[in-house]
Amino acid sequence: MRGRLFFRRWRFLDYLADGFFKGISLIFSMEEEVWTAVFTTLKLSGLSMVVTLLLGVPGGFCLGYFSFPGKKILRVTVDTLLSIPTVVVGLFVYAFISNRGPLGQYGLLFTIPGMAIGQTILALPIVLALTASAVETMDSRLRFTLLTLGAGGKRLLLSTLWESRHQILLAAVTAYGRVTAEVGVSMMIGGNIKWHTRTITTAITLETGKGEFSTGVALGLLLLALSFVLNWSLAFLRRRTES
């Protein structure tokens, strides 16, 4: 019995090691299918994050800085959307951009811009909520100083955001992690079309289901590498802005 258990464990470790080394081989052999999924992921996540930050940072500032009727309800709604399931977002976006939906005429279904709409909906609440929290916890003396110096409008916005830059960077990284790790939106809106809308996560799901474990490992390693580069870049920017 012990010998059989040991043999199973050994075969499992051998299976993992074989997939790991084959995955490394696929990466360095510049396998076109693997790298196409990587470039699609970078293009999609880049587009999603540009729109998310353009909307989320100013919106988060307004949500955290100003008082207005319905603010508490809006804040609760934003916080609730932080945990919205990706398949639910994919379902509603699909309904809107399909041929029967109000945006069907634009041909967004099974395209990267269509997928970016869904990912922006996923990432936007993160940037809104964390930016608002950063502005709310900012030292009240800074606000008073800026106002007494006559700062207003654009200058007030930029000064406040600069003081909250580390929290906003953290919000951006968290949102980026959300969009690169999701599967539901990419699968439902993009259709996982080879050479066109297949991302790293959808490719991992497909290849693992087909039994191509080594390809899944290669893509998983590349996804981890992207996360490492992103976090290293954040740490570098924090050091530069603190010095």
Residue 13 falls within a domain, yes or no? Answer: no
- How remote is the C-alpha of 114 from its chain's centroid? 15
Per-residue pLDDT, 205: 87
Q: Is 28 exposed, middle or buried (0-12, 13-18, 19+ CB in 10 A)?
A: exposed
Average pLDDT over residues 188-212: 86
Distance CA 36, CA 197 (A): 9
| pLDDT confidence bin for 241, thresholds 50/70/90 | low
Q: Where are the alpha helices (DSSP H) in the chain?
A: 2-28, 32-65, 71-81, 86-97, 112-136, 140-148, 154-163, 165-181, 184-190, 200-209, 213-242
pLDDT band with cut points at 50, 70 and 90 for residue 125: very high
Residue 9 falls inside a structural domain: no
Residue 88 counted as domain residue? yes
Residue type, 183: V
Domain presence at residue 189: yes
- CATH code for position 92: 1.10.3720.10
Rounded to an integer, the average pLDDT of 227-235 is: 78
Structure tokens at 193: 């079309």
Rounded alpha-carbon distances, angstroms, from residue 19 to 6, 11, 201, 216, 228: 20, 12, 17, 8, 21
pLDDT in tens, 9-62: 556 666 666 666 766 776 677 778 778 888 998 999 999 999 999 999 999 988
pLDDT of residue 129: 93
The confidence score (pLDDT) of residue 137 equals 81
Residue 14 placed within a domain? no
Q: Domain of 126?
A: 19-242
Q: Mean per-residue pLDDT for 94-115?
A: 91
Give how many domains the chain has, as a whole number: 1
pLDDT (mean) for 78-101: 90
Q: Once rounded to an integer, what is the mean pLDDT over residues 71-91?
A: 90
User: Is the pLDDT at 111 greater than 90, yes or no?
Assistant: yes
